[in-house]
Amino acid sequence: MKVLHIVGARPNFMKVAPVMNALKTRMHIVQTLVHTGQHYDANMSDVFFGQLGIPAPDVNLAVGSGTHARQTAEIMTRFEPVLLARKPDLVLVYGDVNSTVAAALVCAKLGVRVGHVEAGLRSFDRTMPEEINRLVTDQLADLLFTPSEDGDFNLRKEGIPAEKIFRVGNVMIDSLVALLPAARRQKQNRLPQSFALVTLHRPANVDDGAILQGILQSLLEVSRDLPVLFPAHPRTRKRIADFGPHDQLQLLDPLSYLEFLAMQSKATVVITDSGGIQEETTYLGIPCLTLRDNTERPVTVSLGTNVLVGRDPDKLRHELSRVLAGQAKKGTIPPLWDGQAGERIAAVLTDP
Ligand code: UD1
């Protein structure tokens, strides 16, 4: 059986690694890896391939940045001939980025079977580009691999037949489980005893000057209680340069997977608008304050350490003071977040 994986953006890489690894041990599977080039900076892409042990892509579509329509269309246009030439039996798409939906659309039009890894997540907020990508991809997919029970529930409500849905657990946690020991061995120079680790990149938070200023102001307040380490996504760095007060907040370049994992595992608190980091902090038991009003990952709130603080500075202040007083929310690890999700996907694809 020929399986083609297609990835494009940073959060895809830690999801594809465990699936490729698990399929590698199945003799009759031939794997191809396509990188769309949605993320192209070395520190957003290459370094992750190296640390996660992902083979070099067989094809790089080198689409680069653009508006949503342009980027999505470019991925579709460049992926179609690859799909026609390689003729895979199944294409696996990952997560909720523009590369995910673009590839799923091309496959659906050409009648090629698609599997969606990390299916069924819903924020119920259609102003998020990722929510549109999730909805469309799940409608088109033939196999839907969900990380948690809420995913199955959302898909069933949208009319997806139960026999297409496989609850396999969280592939992103597979990578974390595999690489946490190596991350802990990383030398981290000058890491403060306690610190807040911040990431911020959602368009809803960084694209509007007034909103971004408000968030940066709250982070400046945080920095009076705790040193703030803020590895900045290229998009955020550009916006801060455009609008922000940036001299008091020390911005770092994007970190590698191992560096970031090591920092997360040692952080006093993580403040973020990322999806994946809500999951990783839940696994690690580190308090996470999420700068969003909703989450497509509700188990991180119901079971994990995640608290949604939105953009309310008072709420952020209140939750931070709880953390500093040693009263942070305690959590547990959700079922099937155990490092074996990739194996379960491989079993669905290959076991009779
Ligand atoms: C994308 C995903 C988002 C994910 C995030 C992780 C979509 C719709 N969004 O958002 O879900 O959480 O990746 O990082 O797919 N840029 C660079 N170098 C790069 C990549 C991007 O400078 O290697 C800059 C460009 O100016 C680009 C901007 O970042 O215009 C945004 O990149 P894009 O891929 O469009 O979306 P992300 O914000 O990265």
Q: Compute, in angstroms, the gap from residue 45 CA to the centroid of ligand 1.
A: 11
Residue 209: inside a domain, yes or no?
yes
| pTM attached to this predicted model | 0.97
Residue 177: inside a domain, yes or no?
no
Q: How many domains does the chain have?
A: 2
| 191, pLDDT greater than 90 | no
| CATH number of the domain residue 209 falls in | 3.40.50.2000
pLDDT at 190: 76
Residues 101 and 156 both lie in one domain: yes
Model pLDDT for residues 70-88, shown as the tens digit of each residue: 999 999 999 999 999 999 9
Residues 159 and 272 both lie in one domain: no
Q: Is 73 in the pocket of ligand 1 (CB under 6 A)?
A: no
Residues 244 and 136 both lie in one domain: no
Cite the DSSP H helix spans in the chain: 10-24, 46-52, 68-86, 98-110, 129-140, 149-157, 171-185, 203-206, 209-225, 234-243, 257-266, 276-284, 299-302, 313-324, 341-350
Q: Quick one: DSSP state of residue 196?
A: E
Model pLDDT for residues 295-304, shown as the tens digit of each residue: 999 999 999 9
Residues 19 and 120 both lie in one domain: yes
pLDDT at 244: 65
Residue 331: inside a domain, yes or no?
no
Residues 149 and 215 both lie in one domain: no
Residues 7 and 145 both lie in one domain: yes
Active site residues: 201
Residue 91: inside a domain, yes or no?
yes
| 218, pLDDT greater than 80 | yes
Residues 163 and 261 both lie in one domain: no
pLDDT at 242: 85
Model pLDDT for residues 273-319, shown as the tens digit of each residue: 999 999 999 999 999 999 999 999 999 999 999 999 999 999 999 99
What six digits make up the tokens of 40? 């192209």
Residue 330: inside a domain, yes or no?
no
Confidence of residue 180 (pLDDT cuts 50, 70, 90): very high
Confidence of residue 245 (pLDDT cuts 50, 70, 90): low
Residues 79 and 147 both lie in one domain: yes
Residues 159 and 48 both lie in one domain: yes
pLDDT at 138: 99
Residue 332: inside a domain, yes or no?
no
Residue 65: inside a domain, yes or no?
yes
SS3 87: coil
- The secondary element (H helix, E strand) that includes residue 22 is helix 10-24
Residues 301 and 158 both lie in one domain: no
- Which of the listed residues 97, 127, 172 should we mutate to test ligand 1's pocket, taking the one with most ligand atoms within 8 A of CB? 97
Q: Is 239 in the pocket of ligand 1 (CB under 6 A)?
A: no
| 204, pLDDT greater than 70 | yes
Question: Cβ atoms within 10 A of the Cβ of 4, count?
Answer: 26
pLDDT at 246: 65
| Index of the ligand 1 atom closest to the CA of residue 38 | 34
Nearest CA to ligand 1 atom 19: 39
The domain in which residue 240 lies consists of 183-324
Q: Compute, in angstroms, the gap from residue 280 CA to the centroid of ligand 1.
A: 20
| Index of the ligand 1 atom closest to the CA of residue 133 | 8
On average, the pLDDT of the chain sits at 96
Residues 269 and 310 both lie in one domain: yes
Residues 160 and 190 both lie in one domain: no
Residue 194: inside a domain, yes or no?
yes
